[in-house]
Amino acid sequence: MTHDAPRLLPCGDTAFTIEFGKRIDAHLSARVLALDAVLAARALPGLLETVPTYRSLTVHLDPLRADPAELGRAVLALAGEPLAAVPSTRLWRIPVVYGGEFGIDLEAVAAHHGLAPGTLIERHSAPEYRVAMIGFLPGYAYLEGLDPGLALSRRPSPRPLTPAGTISIGGAQALVASIAAPSGWHLLGRTPEKTFVPERDPVFLLRPGDRVRFVPTPAARWDALAAAAEAGELVAELCEG
């Protein structure tokens, strides 16, 4: 297939963005993650951090150790080469209690799509998602792979506070929320897993490129799983390979 040529966009003297496109799309996300892996392997002088998103990679640099324009051109050249897709070796199986107090928008979203709530749960938990980006707030994992038939634009007004662990959808995006925050997305469920714990190693459970599956879990198990997570246990299951 043909690709749009990647573009180099300046972000001042400490960063630049390589833009692969302007859509949420599995192919774009795969190219972003592939370039990210290439840069991680090269250790270019002056390159500090990279931030993958659905459709772009931002490179943060030290302007004392690298010329931003030169480094930008070098990374753009790498982005234009054929990029081997990076196989993700990590798959997370994340328990989710859907509906009721855990997902207060489940019934309305199901009704909007003309689905039974159980069918919505099946279709939301069917795909293998991939973490396309983490951003906005610490540990907020934005997933690629939502069933296009479930896409739904945001609520007209955001809710002032939604709980940590919220599993929600907004447009074509699916989200695992790490901490409590305002949100205009549709809340389908909640996971007892903690994806951001500053005192834990690793601090952040999910990494860009990780695969994710949601495991529908009975509400009756919430208390036990939440207590285990609170005690520092992993309640999500990590499958390597």
Give the interface with another protein as residue ranges (CB under 8 A). 9-17, 19, 22-24, 48-56, 58, 60, 63-64, 67-69, 133-140, 142, 178-179, 198-199, 203-204, 207-208
User: Least distance (Å) from another protein to the CB of residue 207?
Assistant: 8
User: Least distance (Å) from another protein to the CB of residue 21?
Assistant: 9
User: Least distance (Å) from another protein to the CB of residue 53?
Assistant: 5
User: Least distance (Å) from another protein to the CB of residue 212?
Assistant: 15
Nearer to another protein, 63 or 118 (CB): 63
Which residues on neighbouring strands pair with residue 211, listed in sequence order? 91, 130
Nearer to another protein, 141 or 188 (CB): 141
Nearer to another protein, 12 or 241 (CB): 12
- Distance, in Å, from the CA atom of 157 to the CA atom of 52, rounded to the nearest integer, reads 28
Residue 89, CA distances (Å) to 112, 239, 240 in order? 36, 8, 6
Under 8 Å between Cβ of 135 and 53: yes
Nearer to another protein, 58 or 104 (CB): 58
User: Least distance (Å) from another protein to the CB of residue 153?
Assistant: 11
What's phi and psi for 157, nearest 5 deg? -130, 140
Closest by Cα among 151, 182, 177 to 166: 177
Nearer to another protein, 98 or 196 (CB): 196
User: Least distance (Å) from another protein to the CB of residue 205?
Assistant: 10
Residue 70, CA distances (Å) to 44, 47, 67, 75 in order? 11, 12, 5, 9
Nearer to another protein, 51 or 91 (CB): 51
